[in-house]
């Protein structure tokens, strides 16, 4: 049985990232200088907000290295790239080197996110072998880009086995994945996705992810709390962060409705960022959302929204 190994294919749900984030082979990695807007505020943000490639393309151009330079010039100290595993080795190395020069931290990249298979809840020897091989590949990618985190979405549930058996199966597979990652220090972060946009997926809520991570009992299996998804799935964002604090190691943002930058929807991101800052959260907050306005004006609106929410 053949399994799709392309991270960009697995991430078709995130089409807002744009073609620049999934067609690395077509993007130049030249050294043309980036000209920041005259309105730029070069002060570093309090928190490690992480844009993605394509988010500031109208200002910085298509070149990945220029986009990284623009991010750094605007005060961002991190970047995430879901499709990193789909990029060629040379591109990965150049990105890693540039980020190191800019003193930027690498956020998550996706090592497994399948929305059709039940690899975790219905383990089969061939599928498990492939999955563990994918974890080994993720370790090599992480080394090239100095990454500490990789996203795992544990696939679909099935209707012909009791839920508790599926949970137990998932826990055992995650233990095997964690064992592969442990020598390198790379941490997989499990991402619950809301069931309205992604029906059929096994992992959907923070309490469920908390229960699973507690059972796996490994520092290499933690939670990615995507606040956009959790606002839809369960709300109660800060109380759930409080209860699952020991297992949450990474956050992603997107306002709801619309999945665009903070201040465009109903989530009070300023309060959330202040709460995380007060708790001395030193991790990365991935900007996994679109821009509410097109063009340079929209890119500047994204930066301004984070300046506003970072002003606490």
d(CA 279, CA 265): 25
Q: What is the per-residue pLDDT for 165?
A: 98
Q: Is residue 22 in some structural domain?
A: no
pTM over 0.75: yes
Q: What is the per-residue pLDDT for 42?
A: 81
Instruction: Write a three-state SS string for 143-192.
Output: HHHCECEEEEECCECCCCCCHHHHHHHHHHHHHHHHHHHHHHCCEEEECC
Q: Is residue 35 in some structural domain?
A: no
Q: Is residue 252 in some structural domain?
A: yes
Q: Is residue 42 in some structural domain?
A: no
What is the residue-level pLDDT of the chain in tens, covering all 312 positions?
333 443 444 444 444 444 433 333 334 444 443 444 435 578 999 999 999 999 999 999 999 999 999 999 999 999 999 999 999 999 999 999 999 999 999 999 999 999 999 999 999 999 999 999 999 999 999 999 999 999 999 999 999 999 999 999 999 999 999 999 999 999 999 999 999 999 999 999 999 999 999 999 999 999 999 999 999 999 999 999 999 999 999 999 999 999 999 999 999 999 999 999 999 999 999 999 999 999 999 999 999 999 999 999
Beta strands in the chain (DSSP E): 48-50, 78-79, 105-106, 109-113, 149-153, 187-190, 221-226, 248-252, 284-286
261 alpha-carbon distance from chain centroid: 15
Q: Is residue 33 in some structural domain?
A: no
Q: Is residue 45 in some structural domain?
A: no
CATH code at position 108: 3.20.20.150
Q: Is residue 20 in some structural domain?
A: no
The tally of domains found in the chain comes to 1
Q: Is residue 254 in some structural domain?
A: yes
Q: What is the per-residue pLDDT for 215?
A: 98
Domain limits for position 162: 7-13+51-309
């Amino acid at each position: 049985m053949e399994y799709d190994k392309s991270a960009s294919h697995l991430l078709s749900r995130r089409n807002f990232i744009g073609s620049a984030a999934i067609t690395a082979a077509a993007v130049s990695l030249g050294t043309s200088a980036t000209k920041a807007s005259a309105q730029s505020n070069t002060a570093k943000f309090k928190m490690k907000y992480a844009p993605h490639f394509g988010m500031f393309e109208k200002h910085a151009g298509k070149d990945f290295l220029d986009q990284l330079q623009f991010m750094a010039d605007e005060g961002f100290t991190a970047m995430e790239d879901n499709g990193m595993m789909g990029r060629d080795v040379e591109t990965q190395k150049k990105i890693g080197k540039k980020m190191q020069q800019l003193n930027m931290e690498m956020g998550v990249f996706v090592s497994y996110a399948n929305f059709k298979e039940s690899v975790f809840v219905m383990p089969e020897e061939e599928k498990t072998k492939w999955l563990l091989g994918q974890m080994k590949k993720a370790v090599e990618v992480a080394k090239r880009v100095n990454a500490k985190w990789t996203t795992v979405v544990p696939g679909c549930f099935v209707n012909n086995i009791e839920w508790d058996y599926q949970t137990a199966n998932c826990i055992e597979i995650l233990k095997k994945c964690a064992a592969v990652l442990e020598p390198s220090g790379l941490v997989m972060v499990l991402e619950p996705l809301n069931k309205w946009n992604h029906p059929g997926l096994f992992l959907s809520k923070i309490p469920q992810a908390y229960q699973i991570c507690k059972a796996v009992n490994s520092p290499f299996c933690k939670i990615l709390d995507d606040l956009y998804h959790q606002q839809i799935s369960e709300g109660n964002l800060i109380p759930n962060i409080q209860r699952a604090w020991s297992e949450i190691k990474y956050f992603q943002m997107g306002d709801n409705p619309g999945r665009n930058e903070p201040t465009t929807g109903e989530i009070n991101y300023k309060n959330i960022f202040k709460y995380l800052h007060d708790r001395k959260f030193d991790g990365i907050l991935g900007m996994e959302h679109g821009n509410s306005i097109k063009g340079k004006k929209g890119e500047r609106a994204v930066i301004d929204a984070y300046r506003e929410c970072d002003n606490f």
